[in-house]
A and B are shown apart, each in its own frame.
Chain A
């Protein structure tokens, strides 16, 4: 019970932080680019939006880790969460990206914070999965 609650809470808090980073803690660049087709938001804004979704998914995953008692379900959830962590890192670095200049708010604060949080969450979930798997292997 203690381990279940602890692991679920850690994941849920990290998920909440992933949501809060682009929304409130370190918002990405808010400026719009003027083009012939009208005003366009910068890439980093959409990276932030995607991370909000990922954060919500992680938050739910954390809650489910607390709710489910079966170690196998929690093992599956932890593996999934660690993969979501990888996705969370790939969004600002590869899949969507952000501004080109290193001194832009997204590159200075938003992305490093998101990468660190996703890294911590992914690493923690992978460790939890390993722990549950080893526990499950015991006779």
Chain B
């Protein structure tokens, strides 16, 4: 009677009572345990590949999602900003970096008069010094609820009235609830709505109507001089939506030609998005190239390791044959060993990637400085399944040749070879 007892194959009735049966999986497990360093190294290699594939794909999908969300929700075709602050408005939009730049509010009406312009909405940016929730500055954005077509469509709850004085809307990453109160510059504000997750800088911003924003600027004057407190007719940017049938570039040029002298510069939203898209393509290519190289490396190393160890194990396989194991059992054993290595490596790699990519998503997005929005659970599950399958295929693929070779081997020749 053959069985596995104490990590060894035994042929004794007493030793075999209540012990593991001599199945292919159990023998494969013992064989793997017998060479812990080799097994550990191969598992590490597969897990490195699984980690890169799953983690990289989630990263790339999140960036893609962030970008598509940005282009869907941008709303404005053109952003008019003071000359020299084009980069600042992008960092405020993409990363929520507190920025303060201003020009005359009268420019809104002037831009509205340019041919091809359908809607205009002014915004006023104020950076806080100390917020009730924390002591890091955050971006406060004042907008005109009557003309706004950027902020209000993102609200997760329906607001039945235009944003009144003293009311604020918070970004999704601020840990406060609708109905709660927040204090900025010693003034209490009521949270009336919360934005959906955008993956952009708006997630960490606070929104209010223009008069509240101006009032806040006046309050902030106690701590630090503020241009808006001196001159209430200042705004930071004008969001422009163009009429159907007009070319964005032509309208942007028309605005620039007419008002560049007044310190107005324009940022075309499509250009901004295509710039980011270009950078993301580079990043995605890099991730998948790395994953491809690792896959080839993992398969290559496993092929070499199985081919080398096969030669050293010919005697062992001959003994299995003498004990009555058919050729197919040996092939199954090789495949089982490689599949177990793949399985452990895949599980380890996916778990490790999960522990890095999800808890540190905010940190990763802050390092990448691009819009970052995690895909839905369905997409994540699909990515996990595909990554697991591709990663799991490494072992069986790499050992297929060795399995076929051992299946064809003659007992006598194999035994003699090792003598």
In the complex, what distance in Å separates the CA atom of A103 from the CA atom of B359? 12
**What residues of chain B lie closer than 8 Å to A32, measured between beta carbons?**
135
Set B133, B355, B366: member contacting A101, Cβ < 8 A: B133
B271 at the interface (CB under 8 A from A): no
**What residues of chain B lie closer than 8 Å to A34, measured between beta carbons?**
130
In the complex, what distance in Å separates the CA atom of A34 from the CA atom of B96? 24
Docked-complex contact B363 and A109, CB < 8 angstroms: yes
Docked-complex contact A104 and B359, CB < 8 angstroms: no
Chain B proximity of A107: nearest CB distance (Å)? 7
In the complex, what distance in Å separates the CA atom of A103 from the CA atom of B369? 13
Docked-complex contact B362 and A100, CB < 8 angstroms: no
Set A31, A33, A100, A115: member contacting B359, Cβ < 8 A: A115
Set A29, A108, A113: member contacting B134, Cβ < 8 A: A29
Using A101-B136, A101-B173 as known contacts, say yes or no to A112 and B130 having CB atoms under 8 A apart.
no
Taking chain A's interface residues, is the majority helix, strand, or loop, or is none over half, making it mixed? mixed
**What residues of chain B lie closer than 8 Å to A31, measured between beta carbons?**
135-136
In the complex, what distance in Å separates the CA atom of A94 from the CA atom of B42? 40
User: What is the total number of residues of chain A having a CB less than 8 Å from a CB of chain B?
Assistant: 19
**What residues of chain B lie closer than 8 Å to A101, measured between beta carbons?**
133-134, 136, 138, 173-175, 204
A127 at the interface (CB under 8 A from B): no
**What residues of chain A lie closer than 8 Å to B204, measured between beta carbons?**
101-103
Docked-complex contact A108 and B366, CB < 8 angstroms: yes
In the complex, what distance in Å separates the CA atom of A29 from the CA atom of B135? 9
**What residues of chain B lie closer than 8 Å to A113, measured between beta carbons?**
359
B286 at the interface (CB under 8 A from A): no
**What residues of chain A lie closer than 8 Å to B415, measured between beta carbons?**
none
Docked-complex contact A33 and B133, CB < 8 angstroms: no
In the complex, what distance in Å separates the CA atom of A115 from the CA atom of B130? 28
Using A108-B366, A116-B355 as known contacts, say yes or no to A100 and B360 having CB atoms under 8 A apart.
no
**What residues of chain B lie closer than 8 Å to A42, measured between beta carbons?**
134-135
Chain A proximity of B107: nearest CB distance (Å)? 31
Docked-complex contact A102 and B135, CB < 8 angstroms: no
Using A31-B136, A32-B135, A33-B130 as known contacts, say yes or no to A102 and B175 having CB atoms under 8 A apart.
yes
B381 at the interface (CB under 8 A from A): no
Number of A-B pairs, beta carbon distance below 8 Å: 54
Q: Closest residue to B132 on the A side, CB-wise? A: A100
In the complex, what distance in Å separates the CA atom of A14 from the CA atom of B287? 30
Contact flags A71-102 to B (C-beta < 8 A → 1, else 0)? 00000000000000000000000000001111
In the complex, what distance in Å separates the CA atom of A137 from the CA atom of B113? 86
Q: Closest residue to B95 on the A side, CB-wise? A: A103
**What residues of chain B lie closer than 8 Å to A29, measured between beta carbons?**
134-136
Docked-complex contact A100 and B96, CB < 8 angstroms: no
**What residues of chain A lie closer than 8 Å to B173, measured between beta carbons?**
101-103
In the complex, what distance in Å separates the CA atom of A68 from the CA atom of B135? 47
**What residues of chain A lie closer than 8 Å to B133, measured between beta carbons?**
99-101
Q: Closest residue to A31 on the B side, CB-wise? A: B135
In the complex, what distance in Å separates the CA atom of A101 from the CA atom of B175? 6
In the complex, what distance in Å separates the CA atom of A52 from the CA atom of B340? 39
Query: From residue 1 to 45 of chain A, which have CB atoms closer than 8 A to chain B?
Result: 29, 31-34, 42
Chain A proximity of B91: nearest CB distance (Å)? 14
B176 at the interface (CB under 8 A from A): yes
In the complex, what distance in Å separates the CA atom of A42 from the CA atom of B355? 26
Docked-complex contact B176 and A103, CB < 8 angstroms: no
Chain A proximity of B268: nearest CB distance (Å)? 28
**18 A-B pairs (CB sep. < 8 Å):** A29-B136, A31-B136, A42-B135, A101-B134, A101-B138, A101-B173, A101-B174, A102-B173, A103-B96, A103-B136, A103-B173, A104-B136, A107-B362, A109-B360, A109-B363, A112-B363, A116-B355, A116-B359
Given A100-B175, A112-B363, A116-B355: 20 more A-B contacts, CB < 8 Å: A29-B134, A33-B130, A33-B135, A42-B135, A99-B134, A100-B174, A101-B134, A101-B175, A101-B204, A102-B174, A102-B175, A103-B136, A103-B204, A104-B134, A104-B136, A108-B360, A108-B363, A113-B359, A115-B359, A116-B359
Interface residues of B (CB under 8 A from A): 96, 130, 133-136, 138, 173-176, 203-204, 355, 359-360, 362-363, 366
